[in-house]
């Protein structure tokens, strides 16, 4: 059995008592945490020893909402989100090859690995409702490539928003594919049925469905179409016991999801801004997980009432909403943004304390995924998803108050070592399972191809008023 001893570090356990152990030691046997101690742990000669002096030992970070495809396309259309969204929609539906999705998976998983993110929830597309659901090969290729990095992910797939048929283009076969809702549901079923184990297979599939607003359920024909989608998706969710996620909730859409049976403890709802009284009633009754995206454009346009929901006993976690035009997968950045976002609103620096935001990207997120018994904290018997943070740096001294230093001052580049499922995926900032240079070259090549083939060259030019003005 492979063993790893992490010794002599500041251990932030995130266990029930939120115990912090100075000069703590953690023994990993196979893929499990077998012993935690303040004292030396006896080991045999075959044990790999990692000295964590001047480092924090903590659970891997969990990103509860992001997008596949965005990493390769994130730099286009600087300053104009509408241009960027249009580019996403065009690329994902008709302008993306299998290699595009492989390159995005390789790049985004590498960025997460180097940021200390050991588990994430990814919507397979975006914008907010376009999922590449014409063929299984795209999502399956994405998942296979993502898995090579060694980190975990759940990839959300499902049918798209009406009207149907919807057009996709297969670059591999050079043909247009017009899909109806039944075809997209069948593709979703095939993906979910083959790969749904959240622990045994580190990269698995979960479910999504388009959100709808109150004005869209005012006639019987729309209700019939929406019911058909939700009935099919909820049947798959129950059969395969996977989580369900939706993107871009606001202004009554949560209450609509509730009406069609999409709200429960297994639901994760992103953004959740400008909630109505009906939304709040549904949340308090059904107790879903709210995924707050403090760095997203939605959080500029509206407000997620995260502190108020937390005080009502609702689980609120943090998602990067990455990658996108102005944000990546650095969860330290998003924790800091979360604190400042709500402190500015309330004009109160006591809102969203460091300990709470760290819970939101570790144990709370694990609970939202239904994996609190396996990941999210460092406890004996749990799976070893652990990161080491180098805290002996100018911006992280003096060496006290470790949780405050992590959430206020740390960033992705401070992550030194990443262990997932008991295996070292990054050591001294060098990935051990993938070739970083090869991934970067592959991603750049596919980005160049995507821009050229979709005629996006104008989206790489600086817009008017980029320099010297207060507004584009």
Which residues of the chain are under the pLDDT cut of 70? 1, 79, 127-128
DSSP 375: S
pLDDT by residue (tens digit) across 331-344? Answer: 999 999 999 999 99
CA dihedral sign of residues 161, 101, 423, 10: negative
d(CA 24, CA 53) in angstroms, rounded, equals 10
**Residue 9, pLDDT score:** 98
Q: Rounded to whole angstroms, what are the CA distances from 16 to 172, 206, 335, 379?
A: 51, 28, 21, 10
CATH architecture of 3-59+381-431: Roll (2.30)
**Residue 128, pLDDT score:** 64
Neighbours of 325 (CB within 10 A): 18
3-state helix, strand, coil in the chain (%, to 5): 40, 25, 40
d(CA 242, CA 258) in angstroms, rounded, equals 18
d(CA 314, CA 306) in angstroms, rounded, equals 9
Q: Rounded to whole angstroms, what are the CA distances from 151 to 54, 135, 143, 419?
A: 25, 25, 11, 9
Length of the chain: 472
Residue 430, burial from CB neighbour count under 10 angstroms (0-12, 13-18, 19+): exposed
Run of H or E residues at 25? strand 20-29
* Pairing assessment for the beta strands 203-208 and 267-270 based on DSSP bridges: unpaired
Helices (H), 5-117: 70-73, 81-94, 98-114
Neighbours of 87 (CB within 10 A): 20
Run of H or E residues at 442? helix 436-453
Run of H or E residues at 191? helix 181-194
Q: Could you say which of 3.30.1360.70, 3.40.50.1000, 3.90.650.10, 3.20.20.140 is the CATH number of the domain covering 61-368?
A: 3.20.20.140
Residue 53, burial from CB neighbour count under 10 angstroms (0-12, 13-18, 19+): exposed
Q: List the structure tokens of 215.
A: 């004005």
CA 133 vs. chain centroid, Å, equals: 20
Conformational region of residue 387, where left means phi above 0, alpha means psi within -120 to 50, and beta covers everything else: beta
- The residue ranges of every structural domain in the chain are 3-59+381-431, 61-368
DSSP string for 327-350: B-S-HHHHHHHHHHHHHHHHT-TT
Run of H or E residues at 316? strand 316-318
pLDDT by residue (tens digit) across 81-109? Answer: 788 889 999 999 999 999 999 999 999 99
Spatial contact of 79 and 461, defined as CB atoms under 8 Å apart: no
Helices (H), 195-290: 220-240, 253-259, 277-286
**Residue 325, pLDDT score:** 86
Tell me the CB-side half-sphere exposure of residue 60, using CA atoms within 13 A. Answer: 35
Q: List the structure tokens of 322.
A: 């990455």
Q: Is the pTM here over 0.95, yes or no?
A: yes
d(CA 416, CA 469) in angstroms, rounded, equals 40
Spatial contact of 132 and 139, defined as CB atoms under 8 Å apart: yes
d(CA 166, CA 179) in angstroms, rounded, equals 5
**Residue 201, pLDDT score:** 84
Spatial contact of 256 and 211, defined as CB atoms under 8 Å apart: yes
CA dihedral sign of residues 108, 206, 227, 163: positive
């Amino acid at each position: 059995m492979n063993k790893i001893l992490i010794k002599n570090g500041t251990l932030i356990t995130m266990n029930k008592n939120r115990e912090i152990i100075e000069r703590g030691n953690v023994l990993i046997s196979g893929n499990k945490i077998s012993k935690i101690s303040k004292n030396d742990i006896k080991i045999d000669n075959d044990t790999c020893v990692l000295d964590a002096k001047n480092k924090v030992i903590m659970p891997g970070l969990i990103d509860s909402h992001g997008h596949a495809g965005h990493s390769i396309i994130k730099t286009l259309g600087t300053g104009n989100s509408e241009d960027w969204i249009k580019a996403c929609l065009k690329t994902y539906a008709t302008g993306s090859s299998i290699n595009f999705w492989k390159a995005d998976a390789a790049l985004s998983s590498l960025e997460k690995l180097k940021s200390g993110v050991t588990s994430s929830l990814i919507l397979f597309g975006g914008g907010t409702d376009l999922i590449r659901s014409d063929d299984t090969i795209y999502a399956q290729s994405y998942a296979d490539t993502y898995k090579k990095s060694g980190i975990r992910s759940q990839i959300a797939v499902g049918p798209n928003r009406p009207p149907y048929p919807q057009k996709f283009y297969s670059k591999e076969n050079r043909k247009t594919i017009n899909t109806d809702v039944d075809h997209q549901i069948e593709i979703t079923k095939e993906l979910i049925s083959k790969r749904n184990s959240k622990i045994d297979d580190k990269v698995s599939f979960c479910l999504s469905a388009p959100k709808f607003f109150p004005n869209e359920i005012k006639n019987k024909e729309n209700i019939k179409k929406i019911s058909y989608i939700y009935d099919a998706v909820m049947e798959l969710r129950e059969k395969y016991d996977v989580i369900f996620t939706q993107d871009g909730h606001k202004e009554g859409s949560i209450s609509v999801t509730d009406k069609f049976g999409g709200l429960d403890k297994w639901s994760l709802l992103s953004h959740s801004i400008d909630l109505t009284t009906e939304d709040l009633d549904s949340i308090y009754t059904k107790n879903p997980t709210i995924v707050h995206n403090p760095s997203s454009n939605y959080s500029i346009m509206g407000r997620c009432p995260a502190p108020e929901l937390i005080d009502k006993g609702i689980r609120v976690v943090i998602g990067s909403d990455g990658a996108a035009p102005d944000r990546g997968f650095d969860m330290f950045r998003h924790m800091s943004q979360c604190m400042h976002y709500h402190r500015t609103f309330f004009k109160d620096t006591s809102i969203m304390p460091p300990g709470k935001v760290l819970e939101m990207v570790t144990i709370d997120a694990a609970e939202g995924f239904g994996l609190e018994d396996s990941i999210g904290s460092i406890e004996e018997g749990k799976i070893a998803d652990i990161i080491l943070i180098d805290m002996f740096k100018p911006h992280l001294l003096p060496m006290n108050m470790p949780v405050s230093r992590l959430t206020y001052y740390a960033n992705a580049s401070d992550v030194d070592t990443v262990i997932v499922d008991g295996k070292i995926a990054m050591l001294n900032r060098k990935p051990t399972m993938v070739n970083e240079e090869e991934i970067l070259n592959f991603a750049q090549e596919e980005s160049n191809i995507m821009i050229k083939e979709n005629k996006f060259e104008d989206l790489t030019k600086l817009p008017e008023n980029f320099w010297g003005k207060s507004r584009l």
